[in-house]
Amino acid sequence: MKRLLLLCFPILAAAPLFAQDEAAQKAWMEYSTPGKTHQMLAHANGTWTYEMTFWMAPGAPPSKSTGTTENKMILGGRYQESVHKGNIEGMEFEGHGLLAYDNAKKIFQNSWVDNMGTGIMMLQGTWDDATHSLTLTGKSYDPMQGKDIDMKEVFTIQDDDHHMVEMYYTKDGQDIKSMEIHMTRKK
C-alpha cells in the first residue's frame, strides 16, 4: 500500500500542473484562433484601385497619384497583408502593410514599409462600429525634421466596394491631414 501511495503521489502532486497546462493551452488557443474580427478583415481581400491625394505641407497644392492594392489574409487568416503599387510624381511606388487584430489586447496593430524610406511605421488602435472606421495612432520618422512624429490613420469602410484612408501627422498639438486615399474594389 505504501508503495502504491508513493507511486500515486507524483501523479497527484502534478495534477495542478496539468490543470495549469490545460488553462494555458486554452488561453493560447483563444489568443491564436482567428475570430469574427479577422473575418471582417478578410472581407477586404482582393484587388483594389486607389486614387491618392497628398499634401507636402499645410496649404500646399495637392499632388495626386493612382495605383492598385492587393489584400490577402495570410498565416491561416490571422493577418491581412496589403501590397500597394503605383506611381508618385514620376517615381514607381511600392508599399507593404500588415494589419493584425490582437485577440488578447483587443486592438488592431499595423506595420507599414515602402520604397520611399527605410523605417517601419507602427500604429495601433480600435474599431468604431458607429462610424465603420478604424483609427490607428503611432509614430513615424520624419527625415525633414530628423525625428519621430505622431501619426494617425483613419480607415473608413464606406461600403463593400469603397474604402477611404486618411493620414494625419501632429504638429503643435494639431492633426494635419497629409494624405487621403479613395479605394474602389476592382471587379
Contact 115, 127 (CB under 8 A): no
pTM: 0.84
- The number of distinct structural domains making up the chain is 2
Residues 70 and 10 in one domain: no
Task: Name residue 28's amino acid.
Answer: W
**Domain encompassing residue 16:** 1-32
Residues 54 and 126 in one domain: yes
Q: Would you state the pLDDT for residue 25?
A: 87
pLDDT for residue 3 is more than 70: no
Average pLDDT over residues 48-68: 93
Residues 24 and 46 in one domain: no
The pLDDT > 90 percentage for the chain reads: 74
Residues 51 and 101 in one domain: yes
Residues 108 and 84 in one domain: yes
In which residue are the cell numbers 525625428 written?
147
Q: Would you state the pLDDT for residue 56?
A: 85
Count how many Cα atoms sit within 13 Å of the Cα of residue 25 in the half-sphere of its side chain: 6
- Show Cβ contacts of residue 119 under 8 Å, excluding neighbours closer than 6 positions: 113, 140, 141
In which residue are the cell numbers 484601385 written?
49
Residues 15 and 106 in one domain: no
Q: Would you state the pLDDT for residue 109?
A: 98
Contact 22, 161 (CB under 8 A): no
